Amino acid sequence: MDLKSFETWKCDQVATLLFCINQDLEKVLLIHKKRGLGAGKINGPGGKLEPGESLAHCACRETLEETGIAALNASAQGILCFRFLDGLRLRVHIFVTHNYSGNMVETDEAIPYWQEISQIPYQKMWADDALWLPHVLAGGKAYGHFEFDDDQLLEHSLSLL
C-alpha cells in the first residue's frame, strides 16, 4: 500500500474527523449531525478544510465549532477516500486526541455527547465506520477507499496498521 497515494488522491473536498477519547471513562465524543453531508447520522466532529489551514487545525477548529470542546495535541490516524455515485469525491483525514478542555454545547450543526466506546451505535453511522473506527479508537491507523450510492456502501478496500 502506497500511503502517499491517499494524500494525493484527487478529490473535490478535503475534510477531517476528530475523535476525543476519555480513557478513564472509556468514552468517545460523538455528534448527532443536524445538517450537511450525513445529517441525521452519528459521527465524530469534523468538517471541510479551509484555504491555508493545516489539517490538524481544521480538525480542532471543527470540533470546537460543533461541540464546544477544545481539542489539543491531535494525532493523525489515517486517511479515508470516499467516492459517491453522485460525483462527490471526499478525502477525510482522521485524528484522535486524549487531551481536550471546555464544556460541551449543542450547536446549529450538531448535538454532541459522550458515548461508551463499547456501545458505539454503528447502525446509526456511515456503513464504513464499523470497519475502521474500532481499530482507530484502539490506537491503530486506517487507510481506505469507499464507494457509496447515497448512504449505501457499495465497495471498499481498507488497510489497518
pTM (predicted TM-score): 0.95
DSSP for the chain, please give it. Answer: --HHHHHH---SEEEEEEEEEETTTTEEEEEEE-SSTTTTSEE-SEEEPPTT--HHHHHHHHHHHHHSEEEES-EEEEEEEEEETTS-EEEEEEEEESEEEE-----SSEEEEEEEGGG--GGGS-TTHHHHHHHHHTT--EEEEEEEETTEEEEEEEEE-
Mean pLDDT on 113-141: 98
Residue pair 144/81 in contact (Cβ under 8 Å)? The answer is yes
**Gyration radius from the chain CA atoms:** 15
How far does CA 71 lie from the centroid of its chain? 14
For residue 98 the three cell numbers come to 486524549
Tell me: pLDDT of 1 over 70: no
Cβ-based burial of 15 (10 A; exposed 0-12, middle 13-18, buried ≥19): buried
Confidence of residue 160 (pLDDT cuts 50, 70, 90): very high
Q: Which CATH class is domain 3-160?
A: alpha beta
Residue pair 18/26 in contact (Cβ under 8 Å)? The answer is no
Q: Tell me the pLDDT tens digit for each residue of 41-64.
A: 999 999 999 999 999 999 999 999
Tell me: pLDDT of 81 over 90: yes
- Distance of alpha carbon 125 from alpha carbon 134, whole angstroms: 13
Confidence of residue 67 (pLDDT cuts 50, 70, 90): very high
Q: How is the chain split into domains, by residue range?
A: 3-160
Tell me: pLDDT of 35 over 70: yes
- Distance of alpha carbon 68 from alpha carbon 5, whole angstroms: 34
